[in-house]
A and B are shown apart, each in its own frame.
Chain A
Amino acid sequence: MNDGLRALDPSASVVVEACAGSGKTWTLVSRLIRLLLAGVAPGEILAITYTRKAAREIDERLQHWLGELAVADDAGVIAFLDQRGVDARNDAALIERARGLFEHVASARPGLTINTFHGWFSSLLGAAPLSAGLGGLQLAERTARLRDQAWGVLMRRAGSAPDGELAQAVRWLLAQAGLAGARSLAESLIERRAEWQAWLAAHDGLDGVFAHLESFFGADREAPVDALAQDAALRAAVLELAKLLGQGTEAQQRKAVALETAASQHDAQAFFDGLCAELLTRAGVPIAFKPGKSMEKIGAAERTQQLFESCAERLLACLHALSDRAAWELNRHALTVASAMLDAYDQVKRGAGVLDFGDLEWHAARLLGDAQTGPFVQARLDARYTHLLLDEFQDTNPLQWQVLMHWLDAYAPDQVQPRVFVVGDPKQSIYRFRRADPRIFAHARAAFAERFGAIDIRRNETRRSSPAVVEVVNALFGALDVFEGFAPHGTTQVGLPGAVEVLPAFGHDVDAPDEATSSDSGLRNPLTTPRVTAEDSRRRREADAMCARLQAMVGRVAVRDAHSGAVRPARYGDVMILLRRRTGLAVYEAALRAHGIPYFGASRGRLLDTLEAADLQALLRFLAAPADALALAHVLRSPLFALSDAHLLRLTSAGPALWAALRAARGGDDAELTRAASLLSDWLAAAAQLPVHDLLDRVFHRGELMQRYAAQVDPMAWPGVRANLDAFMELALKVDSGRFPSMPRFLDELARLRNEDDEAPDEGLILGEDPARGRVRVLTVHAAKGLEAPIVWLADAIAKPRADSGARVLLAWPPGAPAPEHLSLLQRKDNQGQARARFIDAEARAAAREDANLLYVAVTRARQFLFASGVSPARGVADDSWLARLQTALRGCPSVQTADDGALRLSTGTADACPDIDTVAAAPTVAEALPSTPVGERRVMVPMNDAQIWGTGLHAWLEALACGEPPPPRPPALDAARWSELERLARAMTGSASLRRFFDPALHRWAASEVEFVLPDGSLGRIDRLVEFDDEIWILDYKSGEGVGFAEEYAEQLKRYAESVGLIRPGKTPRAALLRPDGRLDCLF
């Protein structure tokens, strides 16, 4: 059996390390099908992947395949199964089972779970026992507001005890790091709350952590400078060194004197300073010391060298110890504040009844780790998983791993042990910032091999990329130190033509524009000359070159369609532009626009920054506060009103009360102003009543917003603007349909969303693209993970990786260890300390590895063609940049060619001949049929008047008494006194001598209350009481009203009733009467 099929074997546990493009999803979903075929119940399967998007993709693929199987003929089913290592040729039952899987899975309860870790954790929490204290808590996806509140709580707490420990620590931190720095240190544990809890648990709480760190940083030992001063050996060595040097050159003699002076200092600090000045540079490294000829002459060269080194070393040790102390000081204060911050944050969350993602992980670990609640949660979830499938395993973090292990540990030894299937690629681990730890992959491989006998499978064959791309991948990563464990890739796409081209770095413009034309005064005239930005044009040139290249390729170069395999001319939709970071994004997008190249932006989270969204927000701001003249001016200049500056000048001629001026202009000579004034007045009135979404809908509709925007926006940008306008509307729908909506709250919420990085709403998706052209996708490498394209352009390839910096948690948690090995806070170089250097180094190595991984991900997105370009840095050289690495790799390839412009190019295979450009007809648009008249109407709701309420109550009583039912429920509008008054009345009526025959069953043949019937004209009649005697039939209508004309009103109606009753009960004389509250019977006939 080949490796690919072994991974599908339901009876085996497997760990698959699969390179990019090797078909991970294919394998995972195929295994799911094999499991189901083998009779594993859907509820026994748990598949976990890294993102919701990926989970949905797996689900989609699974359902799609099962759907295909459900309607495939025998040959189809056999072929499908054969590809997945199952022989169904003579097995009708198996074929039938395969066809039934779709329904089987769809109807299974509990069903098959395909989820993310977070999703799974949240279902674990949902299954927590009530006693776990998690009841009713909601998951908060937005936490920035909560953090703000927590900071407020913390500051109040500090302020309430200004001499307390917390207050002092806060002030220390503020002085040390400033406000922003102090806040980020204080918040640093929030993201790492689970690790922090584990760290606390490992040291029995905060005091334990402090004790540990104090000794770790050596802060419990004698002050380093004092220790140095008391180091007799050092003093002796210094004196000896001075003595020897004293016999040397003049300079050496001077140093000898200085050393002697220093050594004679009693004050420890002076001793230390003196030695530092002589032996170390200002930067704190040993000076370049050479004994020189003079020492050789006296035969002391070796000795002086030795003495110098040992003294310098001792000094360095002291410096390190000092720096460690600084690290301890930082940690002592910052951890005090940060853990108090965590408390405050918890308090705020509790008040709001929410959990955040960190809590989710932490509680999941806690619940499953507990001997009581662990089994409880498993039992409550009703999920006895026998098969665990873990996708993108390289992105797992230590805590997730721990939760998994807890889950697995809960399987009793006598229970059926689960099978695990792990797939991932440590080479594509790029989520360190989300705490992923790729080392867990190797750890899991070993752990699962031991525990479940998991087979180790490594796949290095891509089904995606052309040989050219693969050759470069091998050259690039085979030689890279940091990329340990790389095995050369192969490809199944042997015949796929492809090329890799690396452009030379774009440097400074040779002919930079002259310094701005200046006025006589020597200063720039701002009216005529814009300020020349320091920003240089290198990136613009790179972007222009890229666009020109892309334009030249589209329609001319042949690509093979990924789905059909057909050869066709390249379209813009075949191109993916990858960037490591967002910096400079605007320049690339502007170039694309300028070249008329349609594109999808990489503007995740930037919806609210777009001008169109700003326009709508300005409108809402104005509607919330009409005095906001700036907001109004903004709206007036937007396409909604498209006023000119002349208009604005006119409106402000009497001062900045813009809205008053605009209203005054209504109905005047200017149609535009009139339009603006009347629409805005209308919306202003509506704003008080309508929810934001409905208000915006009115704006879109009555303001003809889309038509007007379409008129003003550049055609290349229009699809994006339109998508954003739709997205804003959707946002309004979502945000505003929450609890307790109001426009000010909505605007506050938008302001907040805009400032929150990971929550800021994305720009709208562009739909309905022209299929003949498609759109270039501009993406960050992170966002491109899991995607591919025939043509990939890696731009900005010289950019430096973002270094870990600023306040952060330093964590060392070896895979599989129950608790972290180290956790402390890092802030700056000067309080980094020496004691934790190895952890910091390990992080730096991990960062370097991740940077290489990112390049691997970028490069392996390409199916056929890969381009790379970048701009040379303003200072220094970038020989470690991606571009440089690619250049080196390419140079190492035998068949590389160098173009005139210095570009390196490697191509393989014979290029496909390009067929003619296919034209696609534009989709016809259908004219919409509209109902000609308004549909539906709003009734005017008239509340019941007092008499009506009274009458209804009497009705209810009479009916209850007549039917022998208990008292009717009292309507809220009637108080108890009036209610019992009604009861008395009703009883008097039904019991009165004259009326008894209508209510006492013994005195009539038949009676019914509230009788409905259909009148001949189809309308519905309703008789309060119908009483049948031997020869006549009475229609009673309870009437509580008074007045003369009153009875007549009903006469007509009752007459019609009587006629109908006559029809239904022929042979009886119908009689009709009104029954008054006083028991009077008005016979009508």
Chain B
Amino acid sequence: MSGAGFDSVTLPPGPDLFGRVARILLDRHGDALADCDVILPSITLAPALRSALSAAAGRALFMPRVLTPQLLAARWRGDAATDPDSRRLLGLVAQLRRVGWLGDADLWAVARELMDLADTLADVPVPDEAALEGAFARAHALHDSAALSLEARLVHAVWLADSTGTPGHARATTQALYRAAASARRPVVLLADTLDPAPDWLAAFARRVPVLHIGVRRAAGEDALSRALDAAWPVAADDVRTLWSRRVPADAAQRLRDRVRLVSAQSLEQEAQHAAACIARWLAEGRRRIALVASDREAARRTRALLERRQVLLADETGWKLSTTRAAATVDAFLQCLASDGYHRDLLDLVRSPYVAGDMDADTHARAIAEVDHWVVRRNHVDGLQALLADAARELAGRAGAALMVPFAQAANLMPTQAAPAAFWIERLLAALDALQARTALLQDAAGAQVIALLEQLRADSSGVSLALTFADWRQWLNGEFERALFRDTAIDSPVVLTHLAATRLRVFDAVYVIGADGEHLAPPQLRGVLGHEGLRRELGLADTQQAARQLREDLAGLILNSDEIVFSWQAQRNGEANLPGADLQLLDLMFVRAGLPSAVSAAPAQPDPEPAALPRQTSAPVLDAGRVPQRLTASAMADLMACPYRYYARRVLGLGEGDEVEETMGKGSVGELVHALLHDFHVAHPRLDSETPQALAGDMRARIAAAFDGAIGRNFQEHVWADRLHDRADAYVAWACAREAEGWVFDSGEQSRARPLDLSDGGALSLEGRIDRIDRGAAGVSLLDYKLRSSEAVKKSLQGGEDLQLAFYTLLEGDTVSEAAYLALDEPAPVPHPQAEPHAAAEALQGLIGTLFPALRAGAALPAHGDDRACAYCEMRGLCRKDWRT
């Protein structure tokens, strides 16, 4: 073994890279290879190295120890303390709060930015504060900028805290590597997969042991392929020639063009379909080692689903934010319930989680959910957590829904109500998940297990931090942690990997599909904020965008050189906007053109139309068995029948109706009910108005209005809108009512249910049923009144056209004594009656019609879906009658 020192070699990327590496290693170390440490950028490359080594040796041999910088650091971290990120963040926010420099900013976000920054600077020697301020000022060419020097000071403070206090993860890693270097005894070989210069810690190794740095750099002229690639993407960064003068012969370009395809799609679906078809074809051709590079994650996700349809599973190396998993959503749903004080939608979201009461069997679970749903609607529970829990405990006791609500109540009561340290919050959250009987179910699911593990980790990491957080604050912190944590499903073995561009470095594939290769996705990351300034980055010795762009290009070049076939696709338009392929790809294509070849861009094939299934023709004019023809009829059912027979069928025969929803603010319907009730009570209490003064009556009416609306107004101030209006109109109503009484109409009764059997010509019977708002008695008979909480104009409109049969229906119900039937429009300064012209004639006509319709139905008349636009506009049966599709 030779002595300490630093050596470096450069090799070109390509399928033979590891063969070359192996030969170099064997040459240098021979049998002593087992004493070497080979540091690879990623452990996924280890198998390639091992097989290259044994192939190159041609015999059995002991392998070197294969590590990555992270693995090496982990071995040397020892028990040196590190400050976990979650904990650093809490500390930093506490500090920022104390100094209070940053106004309204979302401090969590700012603190995260500052921490990232400190991590970026972990390898960089940072000057003292004044020098850093100087660097900021120089780079920005700004003097005396208070804002700028504040930033410099902040950056410096954070960096200082990291470098002098307990180090964060990034710095701890660097420190461990230096520690390893300080006791290094084994030669080190480091294979680099980026353009970055050799890390500084490697030099520390070189002081004790021999170090070999193997850089991978594209060669310009090795073969036709790399020559063509060099013409498109010059290797030399300082190449000033234009593409025009870098022309290569057509045959060299053709070599490259044979392996690269550029495909433009018109939509996400088309792109994903193309990708899936392409990968399926590769598999059918017997290719293995296939990569789907997810430049556009949504398109990649769509592709994955399409491949799974074809029974192709993908090994996912990309991972998803933990926050995008159902498991994390359950935790959030619980917290959201608390945050929104038991808002009904949040509650229903939580109870629907498959993890909550996860040990229940599916049917019981479904029943319990349905019951809670129903109960919430029935109570019209909008929000108010404590009231909800109390009601639930009382009303659901012993019923299926209790299996959900009791655990929820227990869980909710576990949570602190005051500001508390993060660790305490997490502690309680975990206990709450137990109370919800969710933990076991979570642990059985890959993402769920990670959620629990993360929470436990956070509890440990944040223990001892005394910063008291409010619920909202803590939740923001927790959300951030869920955002940062990555969920990766590692349980799939597959020849097809779903991965990202950087993870493909140095890997060899049979075929690669890069999805989402447009200029937006295939671009160096946009840096923003404090360290987004290029000049400042250079000043601090950090990589700038220029370098990031070069790296991106090299990654693409490496990918092309390492795969037999590669497809880049993109959506030529997104959201109706033009979407160009990445600039490097355009350049590649221009190179082909320059070499005299046709462009390599092709359009993704149009998706063939599916083979239509053989389906029976669907009609929407049901015919009823006599037994299914309803034997009851109400005024509103009659209105349905008039508007559209199919709607009548769906609602009244099938019994379907939109499940009621919680009314968040009082709809006109509930206000109407309230008003009906209070008018009824008023008249019952004052059967004769002339015995009291109008003032006293109006006063009583106002008191009733106040009582009726009090609760609603307490819940939502906006309910004043009707309360105030009615309040202001109480006098006018009383005046109208007194005048009516003076005319001889005396209040008789209200809210009267009536039923009247009707014998039909075919011998069948039909019961007409309904409830009459108010009946007044006068000399000539009775008067039927129907309250309408609408304007007089609106009531008049509905009467036009002569198809409003409600009053006729009531007249028919009440019978011969009726001498007047009228609507009373109440949304007016004073009530306006709209009497039916000839009540008895109208009732007779109605009776005639009913007498025609029901025997016809029993005799097999169809109920066609022929509502007009007015009827269909808000009809919830549109999905059943399928009217939209009929021409």
Evaluate contact between B306 and A697: CB separation under 8 angstroms. Answer: yes
A85 at the binding interface (Cβ < 8 Å):
no
User: When chains A and B are docked, how far (Å) is the Cα of A634 from the Cα of B578?
Assistant: 38
Among A630, A649, A940, the one with the most B-chain Cβ atoms within 10 Å of its Cβ is A630
Q: Which of B331-347 contact A (CB under 8 A)?
A: 332-333, 345
Q: Which of B81-118 contact A (CB under 8 A)?
A: 101-110, 112-113
In the complex, the chain A residue whose C-beta lies closest to that of B306 is A697
Choice from A179, A531, A630, A968 contacting B75 with Cβ under 8 Å = A968
Q: Which of A1057-1080 contact B (CB under 8 A)?
A: 1060, 1063-1064
- Summarize B's interface: helix, strand, loop or mixed: helix
Among A614, A738, A1020, the one with the most B-chain Cβ atoms within 10 Å of its Cβ is A1020
Q: Measured between C-beta atoms, what is the minimum distance from B798 to chain A in Å?
A: 13
Evaluate contact between A639 and B362: CB separation under 8 angstroms. Answer: no
Evaluate contact between B721 and A708: CB separation under 8 angstroms. Answer: no
Choice from B62, B147, B650 contacting A129 with Cβ under 8 Å = B147
- A residues in contact with B268, CB < 8 Å: 726, 730, 733
Evaluate contact between B370 and A1013: CB separation under 8 angstroms. Answer: no
Choice from B301, B578, B605, B869 contacting A535 with Cβ under 8 Å = B869
B353 at the binding interface (Cβ < 8 Å):
yes
* A744 with B150, Cβ < 8 A, contacts A109-B534, A935-B494, A964-B183 known: no
B725 at the binding interface (Cβ < 8 Å):
yes
B864 at the binding interface (Cβ < 8 Å):
yes
* A938 with B642, Cβ < 8 A, contacts A649-B622, A1064-B62 known: no
B121 at the binding interface (Cβ < 8 Å):
no
B313 at the binding interface (Cβ < 8 Å):
yes
- B residues in contact with A718, CB < 8 Å: 609
Evaluate contact between B113 and A615: CB separation under 8 angstroms. Answer: no
B685 at the binding interface (Cβ < 8 Å):
no
Instruction: Spot the interface stretch: A33-41, A54-62, A208-216, A944-952.
Output: A54-62
Evaluate contact between B305 and A697: CB separation under 8 angstroms. Answer: yes
Evaluate contact between A936 and B654: CB separation under 8 angstroms. Answer: no
Evaluate contact between B312 and A935: CB separation under 8 angstroms. Answer: yes
Question: Chain B 349-380 against A: per-residue CB contact (8 Å), 1 yes, 0 no?
Answer: 10011100000001000100110011000000
Evaluate contact between B329 and A717: CB separation under 8 angstroms. Answer: no
B405 at the binding interface (Cβ < 8 Å):
no
* A628 with B352, Cβ < 8 A, contacts A159-B714, A171-B720, A740-B329 known: no
In the complex, the chain A residue whose C-beta lies closest to that of B480 is A136
User: When chains A and B are docked, how far (Å) is the Cα of A990 from the Cα of B345?
Assistant: 63
Q: Measured between C-beta atoms, what is the minimum distance from A448 to chain B in Å?
A: 27
Question: Chain A 201-221 against B: per-residue CB contact (8 Å), 1 yes, 0 no?
Answer: 000000000000000000000
B289 at the binding interface (Cβ < 8 Å):
no
* A938 with B313, Cβ < 8 A, contacts A103-B242, A634-B880, A711-B612 known: yes
Among B496, B622, B885, the one with the most A-chain Cβ atoms within 10 Å of its Cβ is B885
Q: Measured between C-beta atoms, what is the minimum distance from A70 to chain B in Å?
A: 5
Evaluate contact between B578 and A126: CB separation under 8 angstroms. Answer: no
- A residues in contact with B309, CB < 8 Å: 697, 701
Evaluate contact between B150 and A130: CB separation under 8 angstroms. Answer: yes
Evaluate contact between A744 and B354: CB separation under 8 angstroms. Answer: no
Q: Which of A607-653 contact B (CB under 8 A)?
A: 610-611, 614-615, 618, 624-630, 633-635, 637-639, 642, 644-646, 648-649, 652-653
B462 at the binding interface (Cβ < 8 Å):
no
Question: Chain B 830-866 against A: per-residue CB contact (8 Å), 1 yes, 0 no?
Answer: 0000000000000011111100110011000111101
Evaluate contact between B329 and A1012: CB separation under 8 angstroms. Answer: no
Evaluate contact between A707 and B362: CB separation under 8 angstroms. Answer: no
Question: Chain B 862-887 against A: per-residue CB contact (8 Å), 1 yes, 0 no?
Answer: 11101111110000101110101101
A318 at the binding interface (Cβ < 8 Å):
no
Instruction: Spot the interface stretch: B190-198, B255-263, B587-595.
Output: B587-595
Question: Chain B 176-201 against A: per-residue CB contact (8 Å), 1 yes, 0 no?
Answer: 00011001010000000000000000
User: When chains A and B are docked, how far (Å) is the Cα of A162 from the Cα of B864?
Assistant: 54
User: When chains A and B are docked, how far (Å) is the Cα of A155 from the Cα of B717?
Assistant: 5
- A residues in contact with B280, CB < 8 Å: 928-931
B394 at the binding interface (Cβ < 8 Å):
no
A991 at the binding interface (Cβ < 8 Å):
no
Evaluate contact between B718 and A637: CB separation under 8 angstroms. Answer: no
Question: Chain B 562-590 against A: per-residue CB contact (8 Å), 1 yes, 0 no?
Answer: 00000000000101111110011011001
Evaluate contact between B61 and A70: CB separation under 8 angstroms. Answer: no
Evaluate contact between B718 and A174: CB separation under 8 angstroms. Answer: yes
- A residues in contact with B716, CB < 8 Å: 155, 159
User: When chains A and B are docked, how far (Å) is the Cα of A745 from the Cα of B353?
Assistant: 11
Evaluate contact between B879 and A615: CB separation under 8 angstroms. Answer: yes
In the complex, the chain B residue whose C-beta lies closest to that of A716 is B887
- A residues in contact with B76, CB < 8 Å: 965-966
Evaluate contact between B362 and A685: CB separation under 8 angstroms. Answer: yes
A182 at the binding interface (Cβ < 8 Å):
yes
B457 at the binding interface (Cβ < 8 Å):
yes
- B residues in contact with A628, CB < 8 Å: 659
User: When chains A and B are docked, how far (Å) is the Cα of A707 from the Cα of B610?
Assistant: 5
Q: Measured between C-beta atoms, what is the minimum distance from A215 to chain B in Å?
A: 30
User: When chains A and B are docked, how far (Å) is the Cα of A742 from the Cα of B347?
Assistant: 13
User: When chains A and B are docked, how far (Å) is the Cα of A644 from the Cα of B805?
Assistant: 31
Choice from A167, A533, A743 contacting B868 with Cβ under 8 Å = A533
- B residues in contact with A737, CB < 8 Å: 297-298, 301, 324
Q: Which of A671-700 contact B (CB under 8 A)?
A: 685, 688-689, 691, 693-694, 697
Q: Measured between C-beta atoms, what is the minimum distance from B484 to chain A in Å?
A: 12
Evaluate contact between B146 and A1020: CB separation under 8 angstroms. Answer: no
Among B51, B535, B576, B802, the one with the most A-chain Cβ atoms within 10 Å of its Cβ is B576
Among A110, A380, A633, the one with the most B-chain Cβ atoms within 10 Å of its Cβ is A380
User: When chains A and B are docked, how far (Å) is the Cα of A37 from the Cα of B65?
Assistant: 56
- A residues in contact with B170, CB < 8 Å: none
Choice from A522, A708, A967, A1015 contacting B79 with Cβ under 8 Å = A967
B762 at the binding interface (Cβ < 8 Å):
no
User: When chains A and B are docked, how far (Å) is the Cα of A572 from the Cα of B192?
Assistant: 58
Q: Which of B531-555 contact A (CB under 8 A)?
A: 532-535, 544-546, 549
B434 at the binding interface (Cβ < 8 Å):
no
Evaluate contact between B496 and A521: CB separation under 8 angstroms. Answer: no
- B residues in contact with A170, CB < 8 Å: 717-718, 720
- B residues in contact with A691, CB < 8 Å: 326
- B residues in contact with A526, CB < 8 Å: 641-645, 853
Question: Chain B 490-531 against A: per-residue CB contact (8 Å), 1 yes, 0 no?
Answer: 111111100000000000000000000000000000001110
Evaluate contact between A127 and B532: CB separation under 8 angstroms. Answer: yes
User: When chains A and B are docked, how far (Å) is the Cα of A637 from the Cα of B884?
Assistant: 13
A750 at the binding interface (Cβ < 8 Å):
no
Q: Which of A57-110 contact B (CB under 8 A)?
A: 57, 59-60, 63, 67, 70-71, 96, 99-100, 102-103, 106-107, 109-110
In the complex, the chain B residue whose C-beta lies closest to that of A970 is B79
Choice from A127, A655, A739 contacting B324 with Cβ under 8 Å = A739
Evaluate contact between B717 and A158: CB separation under 8 angstroms. Answer: yes
In the complex, the chain A residue whose C-beta lies closest to that of B247 is A71
A443 at the binding interface (Cβ < 8 Å):
no
User: When chains A and B are docked, how far (Å) is the Cα of A158 from the Cα of B720?
Assistant: 11
User: When chains A and B are docked, how far (Å) is the Cα of A745 from the Cα of B802?
Assistant: 45
User: When chains A and B are docked, how far (Å) is the Cα of A635 from the Cα of B882?
Assistant: 11
Interface contacts beyond A60-B580, A1020-B50: sample of 16 additional A-B pairs, CB < 8 Å, sorted by A: A129-B147, A162-B717, A353-B476, A379-B533, A519-B852, A523-B802, A531-B643, A627-B659, A638-B882, A645-B619, A733-B298, A739-B323, A740-B482, A767-B266, A931-B311, A933-B311
12 contacts between A and B (CB under 8 A): A170-B718, A523-B849, A525-B849, A625-B352, A630-B657, A693-B305, A718-B609, A737-B324, A767-B267, A928-B280, A965-B78, A1014-B54
The 7 closest A-B pairs by CB, nearest first: A136-B109, A936-B494, A966-B78, A521-B848, A133-B103, A936-B313, A634-B879
